[in-house]
Structure 1
Amino acid sequence: MKVPASVFETNCFRIPSFASPLHTNPTMGLFKKDTEGVDPQQPQTDIAHEKDLEKNFEDVQLEQRQASVDNGGSAPFIDPVIEKRVIRKLDWHLVPLLMALYLLAFLDRSNIGNAKIAGMKDALNLTDDRYSWLLTIFYISYILFQFQVLGWKRFPPHIWAAWAIFGWGVISSCQAVVTTWEGEMVLRFLLGVFEAAFGPGVPYLLSFFYLRHEVGFRSGIFLAAAPLATCFAGALAYGITSGKASIPNWKLLFLVEGLPTLAMVPIAYFFLPDSPQKAKFLTEDEKRVASARGVRQTGTTERVGRIKFKDVGLTFIDPKAICTALMYFSCNVSFSSLPVFLPTILEEMGFESITAQGLSAPPYFLSFLITIASAYIADKTQQRGLTIIILSIVGGVGYVMLATTTGTGPRYAGVFLAASGVFPCIANILPWVTNNQGNDDRRGAAFVLLNFIGQCGPLLGTRIYNDAPFYVKGQSICAAFMFFNGILALSLRTLLAYENRKLDRQYGTIEEQKNRIASTEGSKEAGIEANTGVENFGPMYRYVL
């Protein structure tokens, strides 16, 4: 998309001094494949893979060159003071709103665990098998409707979000009037449909507003709403169930936690921006900087609209996308089961129902803090894989303690470790997807694949806690999957490091390329400015480890 000339006339930007008409010559190229040292005996599969990479990079180079032409020959220099102001405003206006909405979404899906021990079990005649089906049916629809993630790109985000919020808010509140298990099954299925349109795609939406090294921490804050919601649910359930009301406590629980969601519909519609350029809280100068950030990020300012289904198909067979999807599956076995079974687990430890509701809150508050801290550290160090490995070990050890000990103290300590590993792992896996796909269509498709495979984990996780009082089988399975997640993270990190070394050999290191572009001769020969489209597949692109 052509960026208005006014973008480059404002005092927010300066065109680099080496820019010249020759700078946009599309017939010249600095980033030529280095054929020296190539092994003639290289396997054909590797050669074919490299050709695919070259084709992707060549396509992107053409797009970036055209963007460079449209932009007057070079990407703009962005005033760092104004850029910091833009980021700060996005952090204060966008992230808290999305976090609040996800908190409500997670609260509405997981409060059934608190409702069960607050009287719902007897009112609906729930056996263990029937309760497990109430959990499973949600994830069946949640999986089947994962294609809705691409709705964030196809439709204006404020309309898409408002529709999803309205849908799950109505369904969640209606659980207060259900009288049969069959009716609750229908409502849980519909709840999964509408929640699938929101939560899974929000990290993808954040990639429209933040640069690659910024999005992980913001995704972590957003996803930290999950343990915070569970913490809040336990404390709120304790307050509701400890009093006396004219309606059953479990019905009141659904109403108190469902109606606030409906109140958020107009807020999302009027205050959720479709793009940085349309954010009402930004000044005109700040919007110009936001536009320039988009050019620097992907070579264009237009992020919502047409979908390239060829890129979608390529993503579905990408080993990196498949690996993160398997990691998400592994974590979700535990992620889905812990909130809905923890009140029951604590009750089986010997605590009264009301006390069990309150004791479920502290582990999740610790998890909330670790989620934000780990996402921040991973962004700063750009070592997301190592972060996930460490968290997987912590979570696995927690589940081992739950599976092998019988004392109340050690088991409760195990809950803290399990929660501190599982939730932060999820918060780092999702931004790893956006970090390592080279355009918006592939990032969106990767989230579809991630959720389609990953959300099958709850189908297993919600069916393995059937051997009260210690639930050894369920805890052991969760422990195994957490350790398996660490192995997958190590394998993926090794693959990404190998891919980065290949790109360095093919195009030169990032530093070498910047040095060539900084020279007068190099800048003329390049036909592309170093800071344009650097987050899309191209010579300057490297995977985040």
Structure 2
Amino acid sequence: MEKEVATEAVTSKGEVSLPVDAVDPALNKRVLQKLDMRLVPLLCVCYMLQFLDKSSLSYAALLSISKDLGLVGQQYSWASSVFYFGYLAMSYPTSYMIVKFPIGKYVSATVIVWSAIIMLHAACSNFGGIMTVRFFLGVAEAAVAPSFSILIGTFYRRDEQALRQCFWFVGNALAGVFGGLISYGVAHITTGFEPWKILFLLFGGCTIVWGCVMLFFLPSAPATSTFLTEEEREAAVTRLQTSTTVSVVHEYKIHQVVEALLDPQTWLLVVYTFAINIPNGGLVSFGSLIVSGFGFSTLRTLILQIPVACSQIFWILLAAALTTFIKRARLATMILMVVFSVVGTAMMFAIDPVHKAARLAGFCLTVAYVANLPLSLAVVTSNVAGYTKKTVVLAMVFIAYCVGNIAGPQFFKSSQAPGYRSGLIAGVCGFGVSLLCLVLLTAYYIGQNKQRDNEGAIVAGEQEILVDDQTDKQHRGFRYML
């Protein structure tokens, strides 16, 4: 007997109520558990390896890579920034290929490619070599974060997405824990082979194994997920049809591209992402050097990456809890995290250098902003409807991510080591601009929801958004989630 699809009510405040009769509750729970057990761990481990590989240059800096390659002046900063030139070059092509190809296979293939590139780092002998491999590493890694956010938006309902986005992003912080431990161990190797070369070979070897695992086990869409039974696949599709989650559409729609470019929320998200990643670019590339500059030895600095990473895990889990258990708390939580980061940066800047522990505590407070990347992706996947529009907005966000990360390391002047005064000032400015963008975005969403309420636009429960691949602008019954 054909089941009747329930409606999804949207209140005047933009809250989404879950359907109670679209899918049998026990079946719905089983499907959700299977998705959580298969999809989220694959993404989390992959993102951990991605961040390990991306930040490996920071660990290698403590293992004398600059000396061995003859890097002088701002050459280390450029070796850090050039990664994002490659990322930037591939951002828009990635948004196109995500639409045209099975997303699970595509992103898995890029993982295998970048693992080979990270191993090639060990063959570098000069500035030109490290610049080349860092550029192509950025090209290969450009697919990861946007693909993961699209996958979460494809498999989960809007109200379920923020928590899952945070869960796979925990891999970012886990990379700091394992990276610190591995680097500490590698630093004790006394063979004739340089420790930083061993580090790159080890990171790349682990990644290529996981890329092969993903190639066989990462699904691309609910309807084609072989780890679900036929009944569960049907339920996985049905449960999404009662929300405004957009199904995979292998058609690139130009009118949605135009709408994305004219949408105010797009540009607020873009400027926010650019601003928040100015401090991010500096801290990722120079984090270990900053901690070393507090007065710690090289080996102690490598170990201290672990408490810094643990603080990131705390902030990410705190953000996940706040957005899960408090309604309409995503943007408010993001604002709170940026405020913490401003305070932490001020502590690093203002506390007397003799108080090493206090300055390290400030660094742990500064990294609170890292919880905002998965939340900002959840904002995009929840509030941007239309498959092509969603991929374009994500591409623009990641272009801004690249530009911010390119600019960030340039504020960290080698002549200012170990304090890096201009880098910390630039970080505070970036946090300030990002805070303003979040406040304006909150006001925009509230205004749009009230306008649609006044129009009498109500989500009636039909599948027009899903079936017709409508955008959030086209469907006036759409409500933006705060």
TM (norm. structure 1) is: 0.80
Q: CA contact under 8 A between 1:316 and 1:449: conserved in structure 2?
A: no
Kindly report which structure 2 residues correspond to 1:202-221, keeping only aligned pairs within 5 A, or say none. 202-221=148-167
Q: CA contact under 8 A between 1:298 and 1:535: conserved in structure 2?
A: no
2:347 to 395, 401, 418: 401
* Matched letter for residue 152 of structure 2: L
Kindly report which structure 2 residues correspond to 1:286-301, keeping only aligned pairs within 5 A, or say none. 286-298=232-244
What secondary structure, in the 3-state scheme, does the structure 2 residue paired with 1:94 have? Answer: helix
Which stretches in structure 1 are left out of the alignment for 5+ residues? 1-8, 19-74, 518-527
User: What's the offset of the Cα at 1:260?
Assistant: 0.9
What secondary structure, in the 3-state scheme, does the structure 2 residue paired with 1:305 have? Answer: coil
Kindly report which structure 2 residues correspond to 1:12-411, keeping only aligned pairs within 5 A, or say none. 13-14=3-4, 77-147=22-92, 148-298=94-244, 303-380=248-325, 381-405=327-351, 406=353, 407-411=355-359
What secondary structure, in the 3-state scheme, does the structure 2 residue paired with 1:499 have? Answer: helix
Structure 1, residues 113-135: CA drift from partner, whole Å, max 9, x if none?
Answer: 11011021211011241101101
Q: Which residue in 2 is equivalent to 1:459? A: 406
User: What's the offset of the Cα at 1:476?
Assistant: 1.5
Which stretches in structure 2 are left out of the alignment for 5+ residues? 8-19
User: What's the offset of the Cα at 1:268?
Assistant: 1.2
Q: CA contact under 8 A between 1:132 and 1:463: conserved in structure 2?
A: yes
* Matched letter for residue 418 of structure 1: T
User: What's the offset of the Cα at 1:14?
Assistant: 4.1
Identity of aligned residues (%): 26
Q: 1:128 to 1:95 in 2, by over 3 A?
A: farther
Structure 1, residues 95-116: CA drift from partner, whole Å, max 9, x if none?
Answer: 1101111111111111101101
Structure 1, residues 62-99: CA drift from partner, whole Å, max 9, x if none?
Answer: xxxxxxxxxxxxx9821122111111111110011011
Q: 1:540 to 1:279 in 2, by over 3 A?
A: same
Q: Which residue in 1 is equivalent to 2:370? A: 423
Alpha-carbon separation, structure 2, partners of 1:149 and 1:373: 30
What secondary structure, in the 3-state scheme, does the structure 2 residue paired with 1:469 have? Answer: coil
Q: 1:127 to 1:297 in 2, by over 3 A?
A: same
Kindly report which structure 2 residues correspond to 1:506-521, keeping only aligned pairs within 5 A, or say none. 506-508=455-457
Are positions 1:479 and 2:428 aligned together? yes
* Matched letter for residue 310 of structure 1: H
Kindly report which structure 2 residues correspond to 1:431-510, keeping only aligned pairs within 5 A, or say none. 431-466=378-413, 467-508=416-457
Alpha-carbon separation, structure 1, partners of 2:5 and 2:369: 47
Alpha-carbon separation, structure 1, partners of 2:36 and 2:263: 32
Alpha-carbon separation, structure 1, partners of 2:397 and 2:471: 20
User: What's the offset of the Cα at 1:180?
Assistant: 1.6
User: What's the offset of the Cα at 1:324?
Assistant: 0.8
* Matched letter for residue 331 of structure 1: I
User: What's the offset of the Cα at 1:298?
Assistant: 4.8
Alpha-carbon separation, structure 1, partners of 2:311 and 2:81: 27
Alpha-carbon separation, structure 2, partners of 1:417 and 1:486: 16
Structure 1, residues 352-384: CA drift from partner, whole Å, max 9, x if none?
Answer: 111111112212212113213313422442321
Q: How many equivalent pairs are there?
A: 461
1:542 to 453, 457, 479: 479
Q: CA contact under 8 A between 2:108 and 2:214: conserved in structure 1?
A: yes
Q: 1:530 to 1:185 in 2, by over 3 A?
A: closer
Q: Which residue in 2 is equivalent to 1:44? A: none
User: What's the offset of the Cα at 1:531?
Assistant: 10
* Matched letter for residue 544 of structure 1: M
Q: CA contact under 8 A between 1:403 and 1:471: conserved in structure 2?
A: no
TM (norm. structure 2) is: 0.90
Q: CA contact under 8 A between 1:230 and 1:339: conserved in structure 2?
A: no
Alpha-carbon separation, structure 2, partners of 1:495 and 1:15: 32
User: What's the offset of the Cα at 1:244?
Assistant: 2.4
Greater radius of gyration (CA): 1
Q: 1:392 to 1:299 in 2, by over 3 A?
A: closer
Alpha-carbon separation, structure 2, partners of 1:151 and 1:340: 29
* Matched letter for residue 365 of structure 1: C
What secondary structure, in the 3-state scheme, does the structure 2 residue paired with 1:230 have? Answer: helix
Q: CA contact under 8 A between 1:157 and 1:272: conserved in structure 2?
A: no
Q: CA contact under 8 A between 2:122 and 2:196: conserved in structure 1?
A: yes
Alpha-carbon separation, structure 1, partners of 2:131 and 2:284: 19
Q: CA RMSD in A?
A: 2.3
Alpha-carbon separation, structure 2, partners of 1:427 and 1:410: 28
Q: CA contact under 8 A between 1:235 and 1:361: conserved in structure 2?
A: yes
Structure 1, residues 447-481: CA drift from partner, whole Å, max 9, x if none?
Answer: 01111123210111111111112112111210221
User: What's the offset of the Cα at 1:296?
Assistant: 2.2
